[in-house]
Amino acid sequence: MSTFIAHCDPEVFSVVHPLDDRPEEKCSDENLGPMKMSQSVRISLFVLRAYLVAMIGLVLYRVLEVAAFAHH
Amino acid sequence: MTVIETTETRPRIVVKRRWQQQLLTFLMVVGPGLIVMEADNDAGAVSTYVQAGAQYGNHLVWLLLLLLPITYFVQEMVARLGIATGKGHAAMIYGRFGRWWGRFSLFDLLFVNFLTLITEFAAISLALSHLGISPYIAVPVAALGLIVLVVTGSYLRWERTVIALCFVDVLWFVLAARTHASYGDVTRNTLLPHFPPGPITSDLVFLIIAIVGTTIAPWQLFFQQSCVAEKRLRFADLTWARLDTFIGAIFTILVAGAMMLVGSYGKTHGISFEDPAQMADALVPFAGEFMRKGILLLMVNAAVLGTTAISLASSWAYGEVMGWPHSLHKKISEAPGFYAAYIFFVVSAAAIVLIPHMPLQLVIVSVQVLAGLILPSAIIFLQLLLNDHELLGDQWVNRKWNNWVNWIIIALLFALSLTLALQVLAPNLVHFGR
């Protein structure tokens, strides 16, 4: 990493701000497409989706219930 | 120390000691971790922690200590993923799980974030009205200030301002010290997990879930990863990003503990209140004007921190999924969609707060619970991404112990979610001594 290379004098250290440094080659997903998942993972994610929808509904129900109680 | 320009046009700072180099590198990297953690002590958090202290004294402080490693482990994964990919969390979900999950996650995030933003502006309105400033002035001015903070076209200017606001929260320690709490009691209640004396009521369970929901929130995953990508942190910065996250986690938990102590002070004096602003007023005969103004101004600070971080989390995520330019380095003309989204979130949340008779305390607690419910599924995606060898290779994926810890965290969060669900569906079946 260029940030940590001492130039000329081995007793000298240099620091470069991340925003001023050269761009690095990152792990890219551009040519990978969607992640390969087993059937069980796929089903689990579907269950998770249903769970999330149900939970959001429950919280809204609770909020409306408490709001109605407070109103009366 | 010397700043030099090289032929590569990369400004470098040259130092003579290795520790100086490490310290400077840390200071350059620090930001995303500290901000994400401290911005999590937002208006809703102030309300929740103070309420916890007011109802149960110091008996729930241990919960914060338990949440410290959890919040660190989760955010460390986010920082690692951000450094490894250089992309935001929404972009990764969209890219690796497809369009449907990408949009579903985005909708969840935007929905909870928007509700949270309403609570932030509600707190600004409430606190400043107790200081004699009309909400019709305070809220629009705050919204304008939050927009100006972001649209300057400089990430570093935004980051430095927000870090300064984070350090304002040190004042919570001063307020906590003025409560003269027994250090022995606080230490005992911190180190020994236990339920408060009396029956385990539905309210207690609801409050515990709210504390978890406010300490680790879904927007944090999206915010820190986008922030790390925005700051272009390098692979070599990972150690410092971890330290940044760890220090942020410790700081935020200490501040949360201080908030509980302040709430507990209200309990000691038999004060009943519906929100922290009322408590601030009621504490004047016991603690003076300094305590009152301190609590009210810290409420505003918490809300400002929360608003800027949460609005940015939403805007970055929206920009990533829509494929728009989304960067604080860009001017408004270069990333119009990104800035328009930020302005839209801020302005509409501010406008809703000005509607009379909004049940704001209810909205605040509900948002914390909703965030607690959505969080486990958000962490599952994070977990799957951190085990994506095809994307990350062997170097950046989770180690086996990482996975064990994270699955335990996910199981705990799901257990809390299901407890809440049972409580709502069948309160008589799940008897908590209501």
- From the list A17, A41, A52, the residue facing B377 with the nearest CB is A52
Could you say which residues of chain B have pLDDT below 70? 1-9, 360-361, 364-365, 368-369, 421, 423-434
Residue of B nearest to A35 (CA): B96
Q: For chain B, what are the domain ranges?
A: 37-425
Residue of B nearest to A16 (CA): B12
- From the list B233, B374, B424, the residue facing A52 with the nearest CB is B374
**Substitution target from B5, B25, B83 for chain A, most A beta carbons within 10 A:** B25
Q: Is the minimum CB–CB distance between A36 and chain B shorter than 8 Å?
A: yes
Q: Is A29 within 8 Å of B237 when comparing Cβ atoms?
A: no
Q: For chain A, what are the domain ranges?
A: 36-72
Regarding pTM above 0.80, the answer is yes
**Substitution target from B14, B99, B104, B320 for chain A, most A beta carbons within 10 A:** B14
Q: Is the minimum CB–CB distance between A69 and chain B shorter than 8 Å?
A: no
Residue B123, both tokens: 């707190």
- Looking at CA atoms only, how far is residue A41 from chain B in angstroms? 10
**Substitution target from A1, A2, A9, A14 for chain B, most B beta carbons within 10 A:** A14
Q: Which residues of B356-377 are buried (b: 16+ CB within 10 A; e: fewer)?
A: eeeebbebbbbbbbbbbbbbbb
pLDDT at B428: 60
B157 contacts: CB under 8 Å, gap ≥ 6: none
Q: Is B421 within 8 Å of A62 when comparing Cβ atoms?
A: no
Residues of B in contact with A15 (CB under 8 A): 12-15, 21, 24-25, 28
Nearest C-alpha neighbor of B108 from the set B122, B89, B123, B124: B89
Residue B62, both tokens: 């241990």
Do residues B195 and B59 make contact, with C-beta atoms less than 8 angstroms apart? Answer: yes
- Supply angle C-alpha B283, B289, B295, rounded to 5: 65
Q: How confident is residue A42, by pLDDT bands cut at 50, 70 and 90? A: confident
pLDDT at A58: 78
> Computed from CA positions of residues B325, B328, B332, B333, in that sequence, does the dihedral angle turn out positive or negative?
negative
- From the list B98, B232, B420, the residue facing A18 with the nearest CB is B232
CA distance linking residue A35 with residue A29, whole number of Å: 9
Q: Is A56 within 8 Å of B373 when comparing Cβ atoms?
A: yes
Residue of B nearest to A4 (CA): B21
Residues of A in contact with B233 (CB under 8 A): 18
Q: Is A27 within 8 Å of B374 when comparing Cβ atoms?
A: no
Chains A, B: CB contacts within 8 A come to 138
B94 contacts: CB under 8 Å, gap ≥ 6: B101, B102, B103, B106, B320, B321
pLDDT at B355: 86
| Better pLDDT: A71 or B10 | B10
CATH class of B37-425: mainly alpha
Q: Is B104 within 8 Å of A49 when comparing Cβ atoms?
A: yes
Q: Is the minimum CB–CB distance between A25 and chain B shorter than 8 Å?
A: no
Q: CB burial class (10 A; 0-12, 13-18, 19+) of residue B323?
A: exposed
Do residues B83 and B233 make contact, with C-beta atoms less than 8 angstroms apart? Answer: yes
pLDDT of residue A57 exceeding 70, the answer is yes
pLDDT at A70: 61
Residues of B in contact with A59 (CB under 8 A): 366, 369-370, 373, 424
Q: Is the minimum CB–CB distance between A56 and chain B shorter than 8 Å?
A: yes
Q: Is B21 within 8 Å of A48 when comparing Cβ atoms?
A: no
Q: How confident is residue A6, by pLDDT bands cut at 50, 70 and 90? A: very low
Residues of B in contact with A21 (CB under 8 A): 10, 232, 234
Nearest C-alpha neighbor of B24 from the set B2, B44, B52: B2
pLDDT at A2: 44
Q: Is B234 within 8 Å of A63 when comparing Cβ atoms?
A: no
Nearest C-alpha neighbor of B224 from the set B90, B94, B336, B115: B90
Residue of A nearest to B360 (CA): A67
- Looking at CA atoms only, how far is residue B391 from chain A in angstroms? 6
A27: left (phi over 0), alpha (psi -120 to 50) or beta: beta
pLDDT at B3: 53
pLDDT tens by residue, B368-418: 667 777 778 788 899 999 999 999 999 999 999 999 998 998 898 888 877
Question: Which stretches of B86-182 are DSSP H helices?
Answer: 89-130, 135-150, 155-168, 171-177
Residue of A nearest to B83 (CA): A26
**A20-49: average pLDDT:** 87
